[in-house]
């Protein structure tokens, strides 16, 4: 009994140590906003794919993925995919590589836009969701913007026309809250001089869709795995019946 309590308390201690780490961005210390990925939500994935192809794909490749696979998994007809979401002249069976030369982009942005096929697994979806919503005006940076979870990022705020501009009222410090009331004392606020086409709620939803798509892209098998998982469980439940009957039969002789 003692021993069991001992192990139990160790497990709890390990969890207490590890859990809070997930809530903060590696490096910047900015608290991450949570999002629940749902790769079964096809309309969300379709909207995410559209945003991705229109706003990200010009710079970032997803070169371990093919257009055809995305179209089939997300239920997008091939002709719609080719007309609206693919670069002109591309073939549906092609890998999703863009034409940006790493050398050129390095000169323009100071860093090559990395391939995003697996970024949801590398950075985590909470990190991405927070990253895409925490660009703010910073005249000291080459593109006039900085980012809360990726300080001094080389990427411009390509979604400025959707989100509008934000200013940091903390003067570069991590957002602060009143310790008693939890009320936000300073942080990112909309800048009225550059308005976006979306409301904050619409923009959050759009970023949810976009990150959902990147989560799918990092592991297209997820959908299949869930389906297979149900069959496996069903098999185990049905198998339980003959296994139990057999056990009863064998043990009859032993007793
Ligand atoms: C104009 C080119 C450009 C566009 C368009 C663009 N990015 Fe980027 N992105 C970059 C560059 C350059 C970097 C590298 C930044 C650095 O290392 O400082 C980057 C970095 C990133 C990173 C960080 C990757 C990592 O793990 O280090 C993510 C995530 C990202 N971009 C997502 C997006 C998404 C999502 C979109 C579409 C909404 C997008 N980007 C559109 C240029 C671009």
Which of these ranges, 108-112, 134-138, 197-201, 233-237, has the smallest mean pLDDT? 108-112
Radius of gyration of the chain (CA): 24
* Dist CA 21 CA 31 (whole Å): 10
* Dist CA 92 CA 157 (whole Å): 30
Residue 19: its pLDDT value, please?
A: 53
Instruction: Looking at the CA of residue 211, tell me the nearest atom of ligand 1.
Output: 35
Instruction: Looking at the CA of residue 51, tell me the nearest atom of ligand 1.
Output: 38
The per-residue pLDDT for range 196-224, each reduced to its tens digit, is 999 999 999 999 999 999 999 999 988 78
Residue 173: its pLDDT value, please?
A: 62
Q: How far is the CA of 115 from the centre of ligand 1 (A)?
A: 9
pLDDT at 248 > cutoff 70: yes
Q: How far is the CA of 112 from the centre of ligand 1 (A)?
A: 9
Residue 22: its pLDDT value, please?
A: 47
Atom 2 (ligand 1) nearest CA:
59
Q: Is 123 exposed, middle or buried (0-12, 13-18, 19+ CB in 10 A)?
A: buried
Q: Is 125 exposed, middle or buried (0-12, 13-18, 19+ CB in 10 A)?
A: buried
Q: How far is the CA of 89 from the centre of ligand 1 (A)?
A: 25
Residue 3: its pLDDT value, please?
A: 60
pLDDT bucket at 101, cuts 50 / 70 / 90: confident
Residue 249: its pLDDT value, please?
A: 92
């Amino acid at each position: 009994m003692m021993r069991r309590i001992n192990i139990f308390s160790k497990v709890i201690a390990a969890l207490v140590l590890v859990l809070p780490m997930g809530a903060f961005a590696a490096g910047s210390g900015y608290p991450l906003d949570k999002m629940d990925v749902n790769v079964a939500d096809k309309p969300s994935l379709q909207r995410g794919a559209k945003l991705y192809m229109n706003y990200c794909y010009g710079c970032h490749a997803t070169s371990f993925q093919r257009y055809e696979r995305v179209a089939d998994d997300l239920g997008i007809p091939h002709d719609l995919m080719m007309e609206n979401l693919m670069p002109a002249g591309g073939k549906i069976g092609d890998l999703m590589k863009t034409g940006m030369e790493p050398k050129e982009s390095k000169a323009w942005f100071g860093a090559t836009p990395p391939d995003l096929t697996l970024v949801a697994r590398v950075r985590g979806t909470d990190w991405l969701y927070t990253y895409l919503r925490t660009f703010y005006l910073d005249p000291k940076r080459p593109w006039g913007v900085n980012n809360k979870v990726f300080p001094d990022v080389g990427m411009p705020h390509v979604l400025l026309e959707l989100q509008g501009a934000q200013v940091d009222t903390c003067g570069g410090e991590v957002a602060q809250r009143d310790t008693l009331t939890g009320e936000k004392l300073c942080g990112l606020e909309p800048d009225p001089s550059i308005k976006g086409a979306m409301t904050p709620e619409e923009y959050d939803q759009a970023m949810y869709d976009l990150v959902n798509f990147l989560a799918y892209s990092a592991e297209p098998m997820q959908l299949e795995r869930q389906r297979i998982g149900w069959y496996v469980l069903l098999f185990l439940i049905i198998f339980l019946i003959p296994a139990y009957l057999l056990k009863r039969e064998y043990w009859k002789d032993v007793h």
